[in-house]
A and B are shown apart, each in its own frame.
Chain A
Amino acid sequence: MAGSSLLSIGSSGLQAFQRSLNTTGHNIANANTEGYSKQTVDLATRLPQVNGYGFAGTGVQTTSISRSYDAYIEGNVRNSTSTATEFEAFHALASQLDNVLADPDAGISTSMQRFFNALQDVSDAPSASAAREVLLNESQHLADQFNELSAWMDGVRGQVNADIRGSVSEINRLSNSIATLNESITLAQGQSGGQPANDLLDQRDKVIRELSELVSVTTIQQDNGSVNVLIGSGQALVIGNKTTTLEVFVEASDPGQLGVAIKGNAGVTVPITDQVSGGRLGGVLGFKERMLDPATNSLGLVAIGLSHYMNEQQHQGMDLDGSLGGDFYTLPQPQALTLAGTPGIVSVAFDDVSQLTNKDYTLSFNSGAWQLRQNDTEQTVTMTGSGTAADPFIADGISFEITAAPANGDTYLIQPTRNGASELQLALVNGRQVAAAAPLRSLAATANTGTGAISAGVVTDINNSAFQTSAGQLSPPLLTRFTSNTSYDVYDNSNPASPVLLEAGIAYNPATGGDVLPTPGGLDFGYNIRITGGPLAGDEFNTEYNTGGVGDNRNALLLSGLASNKLMANGTASIADSYNALVSDVGTGTKQAELNGIAQNRVLDQAISTRESISGVNLDEEAANLVRFQQAYQAAAQVIATANSLFDTLLNAVRR
């Protein structure tokens, strides 16, 4: 019937535009809802009626309400979110280190400078107790500064751990939420005959995006509407409405450091710390591995260099009380940690501090052979030696002694410098112990008639029995007596009344002078003295312990020379240089993270713009749609009015 058909057509329009108006209202209401995608009512003509004259239209029908969405663009947003937050998290932590290391109060530079200046003040007035007390204070302050900076870095490590813990619990919450949404979506879409559950889909995308801020994820769309989420190298986090839980655990290879593990089906946890990347978690783990660990090691290296070389030189000197110098600082020790297999059979020690690096190593015994590997590059380091006490393995300035039979699979973590800065302690307890003097002195006899002169003497090996036999004296003191202008004898002068001849008839060249020790006959007392000029027969030179030599500053000059000597990094860097290298490394790493962060944020902004241009709500557009659908609704209403008046016309005609 014509009238009822028109009524039906009109009411189909009314319904369609009512829905369109509702959807426009929904869009306007959600203009500021995060993750909302603009929705559109999809309209289509109803099935036409077939008549003899052709197909008669029957009105409009709503086929679906769809959201403006592009899965590829959403994937881009997700990926760039992961990368951008990774750099942001890295940079936020790195800039803390960056700010502190070069800070004149918190860094090491200023304290080290003051320490070496105080050392020079002692060399200016070696017997003045004031200068020695100042040096003692500055030395203590420098050690404190290393300890404090190291404690502060531990604090940063604490932040890293807190971040890992927080991220993991947030990842677990979000993956639960995704699983719940998967279930709701599957159910809703099944009930609606496959129509998209737009608002639930938006919610799930938003949760996955939040997840990608924490860690890089891969998603796989399933036919039933659910999405599977994978992290790391393909570990399933969400499958349909099921989740696997992430856990934190204390890394065996690094006590005090948290790692991430995934709890498998059978309740077995599998560590995935090295596999996760991207997002906050990736950034924090990357910062720990690429900046915090190397920086801690580098700072330790500086502390070890300082204490080792200060001690070495201090041992060559004599303190204010006439004793040989003891340790200046307590030398921090390298550590070996059993990761697997036979516990504690590796004993590590420093072999050559100048060759130390800021690396950590793994020493392992496999197929009957020991192998050393650098942890960050995973490259094998060649070791010399055989691992015995007499002939230890040696590589990168470290020596390894294997103290018991190993088994295949034995693995040890070697951290040469990790604790350097935290363990540095001042060994001196009072200023008098600073070994400013050299332990020996030489004298030309006053009665000498020639022009010969003798050098003050330089210690070459303080462990020689000449120094070690008896405290406070040379064993033996030496008398060099010329028998002609070109020949001399060397005597043990322990008893000056009757010196004992040690070696006779040693040739002397007045034109060049000559070193007295070691003698041609092989006498060596761990020091060297040099005679120059033209001594004559009967001239005598004495070398003796520097008893009472409180005004001697020879060793203090050598100690302060350590400030500029190239002692570190295979003789290419001073101690201060090696600290500067740390500042530079951290600065460069921070700068790089900042620049990468800026670049990635641009990429993210671009991806968000693209998504917004597809999915975002534009209120002007919605206002225009309101007008459009309102007009269409009014027109459809007019169609019904017309159908009504047609029906009235017919009724009136019949009534007549």
Chain B
Amino acid sequence: MRLSTAQIFQQAVTAMQNKQVELAKTQQQLATGQKNLAPSDDPAAATRILDLNHIIETTDQYQRNADFAETRLAMEEVALTSVGDVLQRVRELAVRAGNASLGAEERQIIAAEVRTNMEDLVQLANSKDASGEYLFSGFQSDTEPFSHDGSGNFSYAGDQGQRSLQIGASRQVPVGDAGNDVFMKVADGVGGISNMFAAVYDFVTDLEANAPPTTTITRLDSALDTVLNTRAAIGSRMNTIDNQRNANDSFNLVLKENRSTLEDLDYAEAVSRFEQQLLVLQASQQSFIKIEGLSLFNYL
């Protein structure tokens, strides 16, 4: 085919420009480490990456929720352990006070200690979590749940709400127990239901009247049972959280690998492509110079 001089020039220039475009793209890939620089490079991968980002970041949020849930449960656990310790101490004192040879003065000393313990119990039942919310007041988390009128009537101002947190795509875990269930449902020793504080209060009243405790040990045992059961439930929730956290971790690991194959550049391939493109560009430049030097006019 016949070629025009202008076309020979233009073709060489166009070829070099195209090579430069390719080279610039590879260079940008190398600089960013990204395989695709815009969604149009691979629309299917772009959407998949957005999808994966969403799932990965949501799972990261579940991990944060899990941390939050664990912290809150740990605080509840600490409060209930203390409640258990106090109840245990009161129970020891109840056993000692049951001794018929005990004098009035000794019973008064014990009474003083148990009264302190009772106040401790109310205080523990009114514990707050890290964000200042009452642990045992149900949904009414800024209402102090337990109060004492000074004459043995203990009332619960919270409700029976139980907050759950999302720790997995389809898993929620309760992060608290309403005080009603933990402190207000203790056997009263005569077939009915009373509260934990009243058991201790009645013990104090007995002691101050220099009488041996009557139903105290039964009631304390019932209270200790409730506390233990609640702690067991907390333990199993913490297990659930641990399991879910591990599951979330492995899930995210797989997703991140998946995302990496979609968006990360294969450096070995890209570097060798870069070298090749560089070589081709240099070759076109050199051949351009030689061809442009050719002209019949040089010989006229």
Which residue numbers of A lie inside 8 Å of B, CB to CB? 31-32, 38, 94-95, 98-99, 101-102, 109, 113, 116-117, 120-121, 123-128, 437, 441-444, 446-447, 456, 546-553, 557, 560, 563-564, 576-577, 579-581, 583-584, 586-588, 590-591, 594, 605, 608-609, 612-621, 623-624, 626-627
Contacts and interface: CB of A to CB of B under 8 A. Distances in A.
Nearest to B163: A553
Contacts of A552: 139, 161, 163
Nearest to A449: B193
A617 B4 contact: yes
B4 A564 contact: no
B161 to A, nearest CB: 6
Contacts of A553: 163-165
A123 B164 CA distance: 9
Interface stretch (B46-54, B221-229, B279-287): B46-54
Contact of B165 (A123, A127, A443, A612): A123
Contacts of B44: 584
Q: Which 4 A-B pairs have the closest CB atoms?
A: A616-B4, A551-B141, A587-B39, A587-B43
Contact of B133 (A125, A547, A564, A624): A125
A546 B161 CA distance: 10
Contacts of B3: 612-613, 616, 618
A99 B159 CA distance: 53
Contacts of B38: 95, 98-99, 102, 587, 590
A551 B5 contact: no
A21 B231 CA distance: 110
Interface residues of B, number: 58
B131 A98 contact: no
26 contacts: A31-B6, A102-B38, A113-B53, A113-B54, A117-B58, A117-B61, A120-B64, A127-B141, A441-B160, A446-B185, A456-B161, A548-B139, A549-B138, A549-B159, A552-B161, A552-B163, A579-B50, A584-B44, A590-B39, A591-B40, A591-B41, A613-B3, A615-B4, A617-B5, A623-B296, A627-B300
A30 B58 CA distance: 67
Contacts of A616: 2-7
Interface in B177-236: 180, 184-185, 193
B160 A443 contact: yes
B268 interface: no
B265 to A, nearest CB: 17
Contacts of B54: 109, 113, 563, 576
Interface of B: 1-7, 14, 38-44, 46-47, 50-51, 53-54, 57-58, 61, 64-65, 68-69, 131-134, 137-143, 156, 159-166, 169, 172, 180, 184-185, 193, 295-297, 300
A594 B43 CA distance: 13
Contact of B172 (A447, A557, A608): A557
Given A102-B50, A120-B64, A557-B172, 12 more contacts: A109-B50, A121-B64, A125-B68, A441-B161, A551-B138, A551-B163, A586-B40, A590-B39, A619-B296, A623-B295, A626-B300, A627-B300
Given A120-B166, A564-B58, A613-B3, A549 B140 contact: yes
A592 B156 CA distance: 68
Contact of B43 (A127, A584, A605, A609): A584
Contacts of B14: 605
Contact of A444 (B5, B51, B139, B160): B160
Nearest to A446: B184
Contacts of B185: 446
Question: Among the interface residues A444, A446, A447, A576, which one has the most CB atoms of the partner chain B within 10 A?
Answer: A446
A95 B47 CA distance: 16
Nearest to B60: A117
Contact of A623 (B4, B41, B47, B297): B297
A205 to B, nearest CB: 16
Contacts of A613: 1-4, 7
B244 to A, nearest CB: 15
Contact of B297 (A94, A605, A614, A619): A619
Question: Among the interface residues B142, B159, B160, B165, which one has the most CB atoms of the partner chain A within 10 A?
Answer: B159
Contacts of B133: 125, 127-128, 551
A124 B158 CA distance: 19
B65 to A, nearest CB: 6
A564 B169 CA distance: 9
A116 B46 CA distance: 21
B5 A446 contact: no
A446 B193 contact: yes
